[in-house]
Amino acid sequence: MVAKKNLCVLILAAGKGTRMKSPLPKPLHPVCGLPIIAHILKAAQALNPAAIGLVVGHEAQKMEETVKAGLSSWGVTAPLVFVEQKDLSGSGSAVKAALPLLKRFDDVMVLNGDTPLLETATLDNMYSSFQDNEAGAVVLAVSVPDPCGYGRVVRAKDGSFEKIVEHCDADAQTLLIREINSGMYVFKRSFLEEALLALKPQGPKHEYYLTDTLAFIKSQKHPVLVYGSQDYEQALGVNSKFQLSQAELIMRRRVTRRLMDEGVTIPNPQAVFVDAEAQIGADTFICPGCYICGKTVIGKNCMLEGNVYIKDSVIGDNVTLKMGTYIEESTVEEQCQLGPYAHLRPLSVLKKGAKVGNFSEIKKSVIGEGSKVNHLSYIGDTDMGAGVNVGAGTITCNYDGKNKHKTVIGNHVFVGSNVNFVAPVTVESYSKIGAGSTITKLVPQDSLAIARSRQVVLEKKGIKHD
């Protein structure tokens, strides 16, 4: 998008968010895996403005830290200036606190910090309408089925903008209006500045309403336009946990729609939970109950049977994840097969064609190409080569009560069932481990290690050794 040299986008995120009934600041509540504020920053960034201002107040430090930590992963590269609003006395005061920043710009787009569904194209069109009409201000308005809680757009007899009336201040007649203020505006900065200085406290909480600036600008004979959008969902403001769930549902629908447009097969999109940043290849089949969280990337042609959970992981092409598989911060290369009920804990890598099966847990380990850990095993802090067969019930004893130790298993090792590897320990390539062994020292290449007590059979007549 072309650079907008004269435009600063100002996001208001200082409010207490009282209706959320949560100690977490409202803009940090997640929608499809990203904080609300991240969705807004991403949409603002894509407009290509000269700068973005973020007004913080309630939990200012936490807000600033979290946003700064997320910026690069959200792709926000425009200069971002934090502005602190000391008195939390309304959206008008929030913008007033930012005036020193805004002085450098001709135009200001103001966005509420609680509308995660807004889209860049809508903001861009609103800005074009502002420019094309040489307006003093533009407000984005939508007609909604249930306007409860929103500021109503009151129009004059000729249909032009007259004023915005907040829900709590509206009379019965005004409450019937279904056209609402989305909380997204563009202003000529000089007009906005003048209007802010004229604001008077309003309503039951004696707040300075940003919305009152529009009527003021109009009273100064500058054109104020209502930019209407058909897509009212974009204006959803999150003020409560119920509205948070509505935003989540709509965003999730958008995400699954995008994926299906890209060729992913999702027979029941209402029943899968895919975060906004996930990427999935064509013809991957996602069954109900799957959670694909964070920055997960899944290749083409994979099968995700039901109830698969994947977080911040990379899955290659043609991978089968059977029912109940749980994967965190791991890499699974092409043609692997996991589950049912396999668990990859962080920093695990499954090389091409590896298999991890029923009730096996892998932690911070490499499972080499084509190797199999199919049943009831725990493999932790292990480097395993290619073509290894790990028998059922094999355990790496990686923790001595104080420290973690490594197990190294070479290529084409055969591990019998129910083996313990007491780490640190190395098993060289092509060796075999007898079932039930507890391995405590080096097993050299191409050897057979058995470390278990001999069987004793007690017969009626006495003791007989095998």
Per-residue mark of binding to Mg ion, 58-97 (x: CB under 5 A): ----------------------------------------
Judged by CB under 5 A, does residue 239 bind Mg ion? yes
CB 340 within 8 A of CB 322: yes
Closest CA to 223 of 134, 154, 129, 140: 134
Distances (CA, A) of 9 to 101, 233, 367, 411: 11, 21, 49, 57
Closest CA to 344 of 363, 358, 357, 359: 363
Judged by CB under 6 A, does residue 14 bind ligand UD1? yes
User: Which one of 58, 167, 375, 405 is the catalytic residue?
Assistant: 375
Closest CA to 60 of 100, 94, 30: 94
Per-residue mark of binding to ligand UD1, 29-68 (x: CB under 6 A): --------------------------x-x-----------
Q: Which residues pair with 314 in a beta bridge?
A: 297, 331
Residues in the chain: 466
Is residue 375 annotated as a catalytic residue, yes or no?
Answer: yes
CB 266 within 8 A of CB 272: yes
Judged by CB under 6 A, does residue 114 bind ligand UD1? yes
Q: How far is the CB of 134 from ligand UD1 (least distance, A)?
A: 25
Closest CA to 93 of 84, 104, 103: 84
Q: Which partner from the list ligand UD1, Mg ion, none does 147 bind, CB cut-off 5 to 8 Å by kind?
A: none
Q: How far is the CB of 212 from Mg ion (least distance, A)?
A: 16
Q: Candidates 87-95, 116-124, 154-162, 360-368 — which segment interacts with ligand UD1 by CB under 6 A?
A: 87-95
Judged by CB under 5 A, does residue 370 bind Mg ion? no
CB 26 within 8 A of CB 237: no
User: Cβ closer to ligand UD1: 173 or 455?
Assistant: 173
**Residue with tokens 């995008």, as numbered in its chain:** 258
Per DSSP, the residues of 128-153 read HHHHHTT-SEEEEEEE-S--TTSPEE
Give the Cα separation of 32 and 445 in Å (integer). Answer: 50
Identified binder of ligand UD1 from the candidate list 239, 284, 325, 365, rule CB under 6 A: 239
The token duo for 46 is 């894509």
Identified binder of Mg ion from the candidate list 27, 57, 92, 237, rule CB under 5 A: 237
* Count of residues in contact with ligand UD1, rule CB under 6 A: 29
* Contacting residues toward Mg ion, per CB under 5 A: 114, 237, 239
* Contacting residues toward ligand UD1, per CB under 6 A: 12-15, 55, 57, 85, 88-91, 93-94, 112-114, 150-151, 164, 166, 180-183, 209-211, 237, 239
Which positions are catalytic? 375
